[in-house]
Structure 1
Amino acid sequence: MTQDNKRKDRSILITGGAGFIGSNFVHHWCNTYKSDRLTVLDALTYAGNKANLASLENNKNLKFVQGDICDRTLVDNLLESEDIDTVAHFAAESHVDRSIIEPGAFIQTNVVGTFTLLEAFRQRWNNRSQPQSDRFLHVSTDEVYGSLEVDDPAFTETTPYTPNSPYSASKAGSDHLARAYFHTYGMPTMITNCSNNYGPYHFPEKLIPLMCINILLGKPLPVYGDGQNIRDWLYVEDHCRALDVVINKGQPGETYNVGGNNEVKNIDLVEQLCQLMDELAPNLPVSPSKELITFVKDRAGHDRRYAINASKIKNELGWTPQETVEGGLRRTVQWYLANSDWWKPLLSQEYKNYYAKVYS
């Protein structure tokens, strides 16, 4: 989307803006709407990294605040002091494996945190005499819909919710709250449910960065179960463009599914990454790197397949993904190869302890 000279400047609160998708969204918005004001609120937990925004630190229209979305006083103050008219809500505990080990944090952040934001925005919105341009975008996941069999049709916006992990259940709860605030209070909430994202600034515990980094370190590439689980992969820049369109053109009260049209089996994805690393990374510790593939005990309650039908956002708002999985994976591998100074500090002892717990 290009800058519209007639468009009213926004003042946006971006929660979780130092995380993976959130920070990519901040970069996108700063590059696209240079006169908008952005306030990033992030607790800087293990997956939040201020280094994700380092190249923007001199941007006079960007303010960073470290804090918790469950802190109502802080949220109220930010909405008022920064004259916020738009919330893009990314902040969430998001890793299924961690939700299995410690579900409480997911309920607190994803459910209580979203409720706190909604209540604070509702008060702000009412005090502003409910201006038509205000928006509250709740960014969610396709995992709320549960699991598909290989021949099942893809998820649509009317697919019943059947979450199967503490993570997806907590996101389902937050989706329901966002929807309820539109239907009960008329608040201009919108929900997006996206498929698996990948790209720059992705924390190393997730599948694609984990494989890239383990190949560089000569460590085993853990693949759950038989490796036949299928995911729809969405390049993060495509996702940010979709969220841009939803904020500026979407209808309050609506849900929009965002998918990459790239269904790939986990084992096939890992093998593609191995081929790219063999091609692009010199002097690997183990070559060919696919010799590092190691099948491990399957994740508890592991969903078999996710697939997004993104026809609604295409037909109503004109968005389609631009990146193929082949091109996106190449760009992603090149980014991790060029940014070892970003990911090496993340391999902390806490990360290593977590890794050992999950894959032992």
Structure 2
Amino acid sequence: MTGFSGMSLLVVGGAGFVGSNLVRALLAAGAGEITLVDNFLSSDRSAVLEDARVKLIEGSIAEDEVLARLPQATDYAWHLACYHGNQSSIADPLADHANNTITSLKLFQRLSGVKSLRKVVYAAAGCAVAEKTYGEAVATPEDAPVSLFQDSPYSISKLVGEMYGNYFFTRGQLPFVKARFQNVYGPGEILGAGAWRGTPHTVWRNVTPTFIFKALHGEALPLDNAGQTSRDFIFVDDLVRGLMACALKGVPGEAYNLATGREVTILELADAINRATGNTAPHDLRPARDWDRSGRRFGDPSKSRRELGFEATTQIEDGIARTVAWTRANLRLIRRCMAAHAARLDLSAYL
């Protein structure tokens, strides 16, 4: 996309998995200057691109001194910072509140006074909107009813973030667009990056990078609910195109699913990863997670296709192959990040 040529851009959480991939794409699209904000709570400094157009502000967007250093004139902004992810939020709801809710409120209030701002895109969570079911799944549209009963503080804070953005939008000051993520995977997600966040999921993050790393070490892949849980897996390059489309074409006040529209079970994902890595270990079948009532879900991308011209084109086999290749090439980096948590977690099999 060329609509960002010469623009002043802001990416909050820009050193994270999605953020670093977005920054790379924005630079390729001719961005004039990118202000990147990150406190490295769940990211690694290696993800900050060395480019004269990238300016790093280190710290939390909830800090007043960080907010004061933001550019006075910004054309587009993306708010991707969060307290990653569901399990860490369950272990420490107050930390989730500090890093998911307060951050959104303070950023949106600060950006509401930026006259040059054309759009701010918020990383919303499709999991918070999807129906909680282990029965037959139906693709979740943007106008699906939202339950007041949520599975984790993470999903609660993501919904509150939408509400705060809607509040500042309705006051006529913030051109706020909601990009509802599905399960993103791809190159750049570093197991163990950042600080310890109270649970083994500091290292063992989303299912795809965890499975790939374990499969490369010949391990049996752990399948909660025997792998019958399902998700909508979207490749990070596709998601980044969606985030850019939300900025250029999204209507303020609206929500857009960045989804493939395809339901993939965790068993199917595990089988595909084992094929790609050559792992022959049998699966480790386990019961369902006790906190997760959202057994099966996937997103409906019809609105995004119609209004943004967005469509996820990467097939999961190709996306997994590319992610496996990246993981093989970056094992040293991944092990370095994992090693920082070795005092709290037995990682001797991998380091």
* Length-normalised TM-score, structure 1: 0.86
Q: Tell me the distance in 1 between the aligned counterparts of 2:306 and 2:31.
A: 29
Once the two structures are superposed, residues 105-136 of structure 1 have per-residue CA deviations (whole angstroms, 9 ceiling, x without a partner) of 1111111000010111113x2xx3xx4x5211
1:93-108 paired onto structure 2 within 5 Å: 93-108=83-98
* Residues 161-208 of structure 1: per-residue CA shift (max 9 Å, x gap): 223211111111111111121112342111110110000111322211
Q: 1:87 to 1:268 in 2, by over 3 A?
A: same
Determine which of 91, 97, 117 is the counterpart of 2:107.
Answer: 117
2:322 matched to which residue of 1?
331
**What code does the residue aligned with 2:261 have?**
N
Task: Tell me which amino acid in the other structure corresponds to 2:22.
Answer: F
* Residue 199 of structure 1: aligned partner: 186
Asked if 2 retains the 8 angstrom alpha-carbon contact of 1:195 and 1:306, the reply is no
Out of 164, 169, 193, the position equivalent to 1:182 is: 169
Q: 2:249, 2:307 within 8 Å by CA — same for their partners in 1?
A: no
Match of 2:66 in 1: 74
- Report the equivalent of 2:145: 160
Amino acid at match of 2:39: A
Shift in CA distance, 220/351, structure 1 to aligned 2, threshold 3 Å: farther
CA distance in 2, matches of 1:213, 1:42: 26
Structure 1 partner of 2:7 = 10
Gaps of 5+ in 2: 192-203
Q: Please report how far the alpha carbon of residue 354 of structure 1 lies from its aligned counterpart in structure 2 after TM superposition.
A: 5.5
Task: Answer whether contact 2:105 2:164 (CA < 8 A) is retained.
Answer: yes
Distance 2:9 2:169 in 1: 19
SS at match of 2:251: coil
Equivalent pair of 1:142/1:306 in contact (CA under 8 Å) = no
Alpha-carbon offset, residue 219 of structure 1: 4.0
- Paired AA for residue 160 in structure 1: P
Comparing 237-246 and 137-146, the one that deviates more: 137-146
1:234 aligned counterpart, secondary structure: strand
- 1:332/1:251 Cα in 2 relative to 1: closer, same or farther (>3 Å)? same
Q: Classify 1:355/1:24 alpha carbon distance in 2 versus 1 (closer, same or farther; 3 Å).
A: farther
2:299 to 302, 308, 311: 308
Structure 2 length-normalised TM: 0.88
Query: 2:34 matched to which residue of 1?
Result: 38
Aligned 8 A contact 2:222 2:286 in 1: yes
- Determine the structure 2 residue equivalent to 1:243: 243
Relative to structure 1, the CA distance from residue 14 to residue 166 in structure 2 (aligned partners, 3 Å threshold; closer, same or farther) is same
| Identity within the alignment, % | 25
Structure 2 CA distance for aligned equivalents of residues 351 and 165 of structure 1: 27
Change (3 A) 1:25 1:354: farther
SS for the counterpart of 1:225 is: helix
Residue identity opposite 1:13 in structure 2: L
Q: Residues 206-239 of structure 1: CA distance to partner in whole angstroms, max 9, x if unpaired?
A: 2111112122334442222322110000000000
Identify the residue that residue 339 of structure 2 maps to in structure 1. Answer: 348
Tell me how far apart the structure 2 counterparts of residues 150 and 50 of structure 1 sit (CA, whole Å): 42
- Deviation of residue 68 (structure 1)? 0.6
Whether the 8 Å CA contact 1:233–1:261 is kept in 2: the answer is no
Per the TM alignment, residue 339 of structure 1 is displaced from its structure 2 partner at its CA by 1.7
The one-letter amino acid paired with 1:210 is: T
| Larger helix percent | 1
Q: Aligned with 2:123: secondary structure?
A: strand
Cα deviation, 1:242-285, whole Å, max 9, x if unaligned, reads 1111101111111111102331111221121011100xxxxxxx
Read off the aligned partner of 2:121 and give its amino acid letter: L
Contact 1:164–1:301 (8 Å) recurs in 2: yes
How many residues are treated as equivalent by the alignment?
Answer: 330
Matched AA of 1:174: G
- State the Cα deviation string for residues 275-298 of structure 1 (Å, max 9, x = none): 1100xxxxxxxx51x32x323453
- 1:215 maps to a residue whose letter is A
Equivalent-residue separation in structure 1 for 2:260 and 2:98 (angstroms): 30
